[in-house]
Amino acid sequence: MGVDAVPYDCVPSDGVPVTTTAATAFLTADARAQATTDPAQDFHDPYAARFAALCPPAIHGITRHTAGTAVVMARTVLVDRLLAELFAHGGVEACVNLGAGFDARPYRMDWPQHCRVIEIDSAPVLDLKDRLLPPADCTAPLERLRGDLRDAETMVDLLMSRTAGRRCVVLAEGLLTYLSHDAVGALAAAVARLGTGTSWICDVLSVPSAESLARASRIAGTPLEMRGLADLEAFETAGWRCERIEPLPGTRWVAAPRGRVAPASRQLPDSVLRLSQY
């Protein structure tokens, strides 16, 4: 769930270098594994522990300096909810997961068997995922593509033939915060090529929150470059319409009520968005 950066000096026992991609994937898996064993939380991901067991100590250190675990779980639950709503309305025929990391939604959710899954991430992350969570164990058709998410046009070129004629939902959880504003705009324009009727569920951080998390990662010894978004301009310029804004806990946005669509001029809170292409 992220974009490759310079590898750091901590390598888990499986040999996957802790790039930004791997760090985010391990951090998310660790949070979901903890929530699964916490009786106070109504969440169950029996697969997360397989990856959390390999999480390097430096990644655990990030959560000690932030509310990272709570935020990851709030984000996870919101993405689950928005995705389930789309499934309930019917018609979703393909799900593209950008920066899929160790996400196990097609395995743990009530997933439509006709909905094809396409996961994209770095080779080391997906190679490990293939070993611990084989595609053959998924009840829906699942394909994993190794690629560089910074090369948005090439990535979408790979997707066009796989999604042609299908109504798609795109997931990008824990990804956009590692991209510059221009890179988010380029990704938004590229994903828009998937066509009319495409939905996109993604999360964003405000600029102050991204700066705070970047500081925490440096303190933990695993520096991650993080960037926030101030508004919806990068999406709207590419023709995306924001249908839902679900603020994450602890964020405040007095300019618009929960779930209400806001224009690009309004400052974004830390939130999960559901966008649509018409």
- Which DSSP string corresponds to 152-182? HHHHHHHHHHHHTTS-EEEEESS-GGGS-HH
Q: Please tell me the distance from the alpha carbon of residue 152 to that of residue 129, in angstroms, as a whole number.
A: 22
Predicted confidence at residue 94, as pLDDT, reads 98
Predicted confidence at residue 99, as pLDDT, reads 94
Containing H/E element for 86? helix 68-89
In this structure, is residue 195 part of a structural domain? yes
Predicted confidence at residue 257, as pLDDT, reads 43
Predicted confidence at residue 251, as pLDDT, reads 59
Q: Please tell me the distance from the alpha carbon of residue 63 to that of residue 81, in angstroms, as a whole number.
A: 24
52, 30 Cβ separation under 8 angstroms: yes
Burial-class residue 70 by CB neighbours within 10 Å (0-12, 13-18, 19+).
middle
In this structure, is residue 35 part of a structural domain? no
Both tokens of residue 39?
């009786």
- The total domain count for the chain is 1
Q: State the 10-residue block means of pLDDT for the chain, 278 residues long.
A: 34 50 84 93 95 81 62 94 96 96 97 96 94 96 94 93 95 93 95 95 92 79 83 96 91 47 64 94
Predicted confidence at residue 185, as pLDDT, reads 96
Helix 123-132 and helix 20-36: axis angle, to 10°?
30
In this structure, is residue 8 part of a structural domain? no
Beta-strand runs (E) in the chain:
94-98, 116-121, 142-146, 168-172, 199-204, 240-247, 271-277
Predicted confidence at residue 223, as pLDDT, reads 74
* Alpha carbon separation from 13 to 17, 68, 73, 187, 276 (Å, rounded): 10, 23, 25, 33, 41
φ, ψ of residue 170 in degrees (nearest 5): -110, 130
SS3 109: coil
Strand pairing category for 94-98 and 168-172: parallel
Written as one string, the DSSP assignment of 5-50 is ----S---TT-----HHHHHHHHHHHHHHHHHT-TTS----TTHHH
In this structure, is residue 266 part of a structural domain? yes
144, 137 Cβ separation under 8 angstroms: no
In this structure, is residue 258 part of a structural domain? yes
Predicted confidence at residue 61, as pLDDT, reads 63
Q: Please tell me the distance from the alpha carbon of residue 231 to that of residue 216, in angstroms, as a whole number.
A: 24
The CATH number of whichever domain residue 171 belongs to comes to 3.40.50.150
Q: Please tell me the distance from the alpha carbon of residue 190 to that of residue 207, in angstroms, as a whole number.
A: 24
Length of the chain: 278
In this structure, is residue 261 part of a structural domain? yes
In this structure, is residue 164 part of a structural domain? yes
For 261, the domain range is 75-277
Predicted confidence at residue 19, as pLDDT, reads 58
In this structure, is residue 208 part of a structural domain? yes
Both tokens of residue 169?
């939902």
Instruction: Look at residues 173, 208, 212 and name the one whose alpha carbon lies nearest to residue 68.
Output: 212
